A and B are shown apart, each in its own frame.
Chain A
Amino acid sequence: MRRPRYGTHLFLLFMAALWLAPLLWTLYTALRPKAVTDKYGYWSLRGPLNLDNFSTAWTQGQLPTYFVNSIYITVPAVLLTLALAAMMAFAVSRFTWKFNITLLILFTAGNMLPPQVLAAPLFEMFKHTPLPYSLSTSGSLLDTYYAVIAVEVAFQLGFCTFVLSNYMKTLPVELTEAALVDGAGVWRQFRQIILPLTRPALAALGTLQVIWLYNDFFWPLLFLQTGDRLPITTGVNALQGQFIQNYNLIAAGATITVIPALIVYLALQRHFVAGLTLGANKG
């Protein structure tokens, strides 16, 4: 096809400009000192640019604390999700037993529910589960990372199991049957044959889950009450109240928050996109 594509290019350029405008506006606002925008207004090209807002937002907005909290939640949650999902996927995809499809269906369905449907019972369950004060300042599971991690794991488990089981189904049956004949137990088949072959899917899902959990707002909002325990996505929402009318600082805080997700995405772009589409292509 050699016909001119001016229309297509015009459409794409227009859309790209529309897509980039909010991001560039945020970055530009973040780079301009408050004094400069007060003098010339936000809609202006005048005045110097510098990084002062970033350092102010970083120290005054408690961002380091929020970042560390995000790591406390994201790392264990992603590792646990992948480990449990891989085991479950192995059992449902490599063996035939009575309820394997039923369980897989229930797992998949669980992940698709709106989280608010489960909110009240989970909140009350955690509130009524006593914990020693050495483990939890609230004396219950509320306001602890355990609660957030457990629910994040349970909620992501269905999707990961679904994707991994589809992936494991595509591995030839002969692999594990030969191993079984050679006397390898179920655990060795899983650990030494299936799991290494599932690495691409695990990498894709892991990348996707890191970004999703990093971005999750709702569960920490529901379970965590102490402000300095919040992870970054829930915490950054507080910046709007803290830096009222100081759009420069809000923009700087928002930009800082994007950076880790951006780094993960740029470094592992292939895996991230693969993770998004894994569930779509097979299944």
Chain B
Amino acid sequence: MSKLRLSRSDRVVLAVMVGVPTLVQAVLVWIPTLLSIGLSFTRWNGLAVSDIEPAGLSNYRFAVEDYPPFWPAVAHNVIWLAFLALIATPLGVALAVVLDQNIRGSRIYQSIFFTPVMLSLVLVGIIWQLVYARDDGLLNNVLGTAGTPGAVDWFGDPDVNLWAALVATAWRHAGYIMVLYLAGLKGLDPTLREAAAIDGANGRQTLFRVVFPAMKQINVLVVVITFIEALRAFDIAYVINRGTNGLELLSILVIQNLVGEGQVIGVGSALAVLLLVVSLVPIVIYLVRTFRRAS
């Protein structure tokens, strides 16, 4: 860090280098976040700014007590998180651990598992629509139910479409986690494993007692990413059926209240604030861990 005195012109240059990005960030991220909080306590139709009326906590009360899709959306977000945390993320970690052992064809496997990561969630939704279609889809044809009355409409049936969407999401998420974790494993000090082997630890003991604890930093990152992805879930449910009929999610309810007919900005903002408050948990955990170590 430079402690030498800076000239006047250098100070101006530095001020611009900091000022422009900070201004962009402030106007388009921080101020809108604060405005969301403000708007959640008002009633507004989005027309003239002078129409904004204070509304106290009524938007929150309405969302929690009288808005039918609210609790289903909360439940779906919780299921989303549980599915990613208990199935998709562990699967990605498992793939990374297996592929880290210099297996023949490891690179080809890595490419295969990684391919969905570069697809947009819109494409993931479209591709899985082709797999899940009732009579013409891959899955029901493999199961032998296509064309029979027993065929499941995987994306259409509100009892199963959440799970169908989660499988499609996991297809992409696991590959993402695999790449992150594999990079962490490759960066691990090899002497750790050698020491464990000399001490007589078997493969399982080395993995659980030596490797995983040494990967603390990546573990935190993976947990945070899993949490945030679950809260951000939007695209795939929107592509399937605009987040209705079994696929309600908080993020989608926010948007349904903001645009289109029946625009209720106050309620949409109240939902956005609830989403914000929950999101702050993993964000703060991550920031505290990251920046405490740095300082």
Contacts and interface: CB of A to CB of B under 8 A. Distances in A.
A106 B30 contact: yes
A100 B21 CA distance: 13
Interface stretch (B63-71, B79-87, B176-184): B176-184
Given A101-B295, A119-B254, A121-B36, A277 B21 contact: no
A103 B17 CA distance: 13
Interface residues of B, number: 102
Contacts of A41: 136
A42 B134 CA distance: 12
A197 interface: no
Contacts of A154: 24-25, 27-29
A25 B130 contact: yes
Interface in B253-280: 254-255, 258-259, 265, 268-269, 272-273, 275-276, 279
B59 to A, nearest CB: 12
A19 B9 CA distance: 57
B120 interface: yes
A180 interface: yes
A263 to B, nearest CB: 11
B20 interface: yes
A251 B130 CA distance: 8
B180 A277 contact: yes
Nearest to A250: B126
Interface string A91-106: 1101110000101111
Contact of B131 (A25, A105, A190): A25
Given A124-B46, A185-B10, A113 B33 contact: yes
A118 to B, nearest CB: 4
B198 interface: no
A120 B2 contact: no
Contacts of A158: 25, 29
B80 to A, nearest CB: 12
A261 interface: yes
B17 A190 contact: yes
A118 B118 CA distance: 25
Interface in B119-136: 119-123, 126-131, 133, 136
Nearest to A236: B122
Nearest to A154: B28
A51 interface: no
A113 B283 contact: yes
A107 B283 contact: no
B75 interface: no
Nearest to A93: B1
A222 B17 contact: no
A193 B193 CA distance: 39
Given A154-B24, A180-B4, 7 more contacts: A1-B101, A16-B112, A110-B33, A118-B32, A177-B2, A185-B13, A187-B13
9 contacts: A16-B113, A113-B283, A120-B258, A154-B27, A187-B13, A190-B17, A215-B119, A240-B129, A272-B118
By Cβ-Cβ distance, the 3 closest A-B pairs, closest first, are A154-B28, A215-B120, A121-B35
Interface of B: 1-4, 6-7, 9-10, 13-14, 17-18, 20-22, 24-25, 27-33, 35-36, 39, 46, 49, 95, 98-99, 101, 103, 105, 109, 112-123, 126-131, 133, 136-138, 141, 146, 171, 175-176, 179-180, 183-184, 187, 203, 217-218, 221, 224, 228, 231-232, 234-235, 238-239, 250-251, 254-255, 258-259, 265, 268-269, 272-273, 275-276, 279, 282-283, 286-287, 290-291, 294-295
Interface of A: 1, 5, 8-9, 11-12, 15-16, 19-23, 25-26, 29, 37, 41-43, 84-85, 87-88, 90-92, 94-96, 101, 103-110, 112-125, 127-128, 150-151, 153-155, 157-158, 161, 173, 176-177, 180-181, 185-187, 190, 211, 214-218, 221-222, 233-234, 236-237, 239-240, 247, 250-251, 254, 257-258, 261-262, 265, 272-273, 276-277, 280-281, 283
